[in-house]
Amino acid sequence: MKKGFYLIVACFILVGNAFAQHHHKPHTDGIEPYYQTEQLKDYLKTIDPDYLPYMFASEEDMQWWKEAKFGIFVHWAPSAVTEVALSWGRYGRRPHHSTDGKVTKGVPEQEYNDTYKTFDPVNFNAEEWVEIWKEAGARYFVFTAKHHYGFCMWDTKTTDFNIMNTPYGKDVMKDIAEACEKHDMRLMWYYSQPDWTHPLYRKDLPHTEYNEQILYPQMAELMSYPGVDGIWFDGLGLPPSRWNSPKLLKMIREVNPKAIVNHRHGTPQWHMGDFDGPERGVGRFQVNRPWETCDVLAGAWAYNGESEPAPLSEVVRVLTKIAGNGGNLLLGTGPRPDGSVVDKHATRLIETGAYLKKYGESIYATQGGPYISGPWGSATYRGNKVYLHLMGHQEGPSIVLPQLPAKVKSYKALTQHQGLKVKNNKDGLMISYQSNEKEIFPIVELTLDCDVAEIQAIKTIGELIIDNASISSSSDKSDGFIAQNLLPGAGEDFSEGIRIKKSWRPDASDANPELIYSWDKTQTIQQIFIKEGRRLRKSDVREFEIQVWKNDKWDMVYQGKDIGSFCGVYFNEALSSNKLRFVFKEQQNLEINKILVYTE
């Protein structure tokens, strides 16, 4: 009896240590947002103690992933020929999902499912894929073994709905695993637990039959591939009881004790697994638990025609902002139906790799901080070096951040910016430099006299002041894209499995649309952040102005060009006004998704 009791206690200590490694208290002095994990702690008390040692990867096993910072996410299946989002572009059943029975458009279900009958990707070459990902600077690769509509891209024995029954008739995942092993590329399989096509999944809950006959055997097959580093689950927010997630994790880690697993095998708010995963949006500053943003280089999750990729500047800014907030970027692309990578996508990825060859030391194997990011940009660090990524547009000769509580032993510009000067004193950390339009933004390296991990996270922005503002616009598009969406509490649209914050769009006839924020009393304004659209893509704005109401007239305080996914403006001299106006002078298909205004 005592022996069993001590075994249970030992298991709880073991899982508690692993849990604490992913949820440790950082040096933040209460600045960083903490996640509530009481539900997960309570859940762990209810499961069979035999499963506890398998619930989390160790800090050591997570280290390669945390240092990687950049991965490639490939959504590919026979349905690529339809040129719509994988699974979500299908007009048919979505059993046990909130949208089941509400789908009104898409490729008819049977037509979509039958695409496997003609699937013959004669130009698929796993080694070419991996060589492109390597040249892109990616350190890991996540491939869709099975998406929600249930087609299996491997030689599974659990269903005939698999790649061996296509005209191609070969296991692409075997080739992928071998190519990754040959080129030293870390590999994870994406796997959707929901299977909208399989009759066992379409039955009423619980999913006992489906789990025993499909889910568990498929997981065993997937973990049999050599060199697989983990599983990227996509359970669509369903609770862990649907899959008996502890049993799943035990199966995975009995085969590969070092495997890592994301959070999507349980209720998202519980933060299960080894890392969190915000989708299509930069996660907030969080260094007390690993996280990863997944986003798409061009359009949808899968091949959607010869779509234009996001500009290099957009990719670099998003990757940098994510790294500065403590996360990884998993960037998606969808190969053509014939297996080849879209040329424009390959080119952009290779350009990203060229950038990382020059400046990757400020991204790879870094942590976010010590400065918490803001419209001015973001910071990363490694050892005693801090890398300042000055992505914002400054109005003035220099940018001033709070003083570093350490001595700056030396500094230099990693980018080709001349005239760099850095001073760190009671007035703050002052940085000035000469502009260089050939560079995307300046990167400044500081060498300190201490390990940066010893420095508590430092706030760089004041209070957000749009909470108590009112907003008006010159026009609103009639289909719900209203200016009120830019205030807190705005609604969301459902898109490809997630909820995306609604945006504002002006009427098509509005040649110079504008937005006005108003307050009851004068506000102090230091930094402004603008995000255009809800996708990673080229900016539709070519000229815009920021104005404040002063002396009974509008006074222009900033004039800019493109906006994109990240446009920050830093005012060296804080503004004072009770009205703020944004005028978009040259634009097409304008969509503004977010505006944030901060005090000193």
- Go through the domains of the chain in sequence order and give each one's CATH number: 65-358 (3.20.20.80), 367-454 (2.60.40.1180), 470-598 (2.60.120.260)
111 CB-contact burial (10 Å; exposed 0-12 / middle 13-18 / buried 19+): middle
- Residue ranges, the chain, pLDDT below 50: 1-14, 21, 24-32, 34
Write the DSSP symbol of residue 565.
T
Under DSSP, the state recorded for 213 is I
Rounded-to-10 torsion of CA 576, 582, 585, 587: 150
Residues 6+ apart with CB under 8 A from 5: none
Beta strands in 426-483 (DSSP E): 428-432, 443-448, 470-473
Please name which of 320, 237, 313, 309 lies closest in space to residue 282, comparing C-alpha atoms. Answer: 320
Decide: 392 and 526 in contact? Cβ < 8 Å: no
Alpha-carbon gap, residue 37 to 22, rounded angstroms? 11
- Exposed e or buried b per residue across 544-577, where buried means at least 16 C-beta atoms within 10 angstroms of its C-beta: bbbbbbeeeebeebbeeebbbbbbbbbbeeebeb
Proportion of the chain in helix, strand, coil states, percent, rounded to 5? 25, 30, 45
Which one-letter amino acid corresponds to residue 526? Q
pTM of the predicted structure, to 2 decimals: 0.95
Q: Can you tell me whether residue 346 is helix, strand or coil?
A: helix
Q: What is the pLDDT of residue 255?
A: 95
SS3 440: coil
Q: What is the pLDDT of residue 30?
A: 42
What's the pLDDT at 499? 86
Task: Give the position of tokens 């339009």.
Answer: 437
Which is nearest to 299 in space by CA: 486, 128, 109, 495?
495
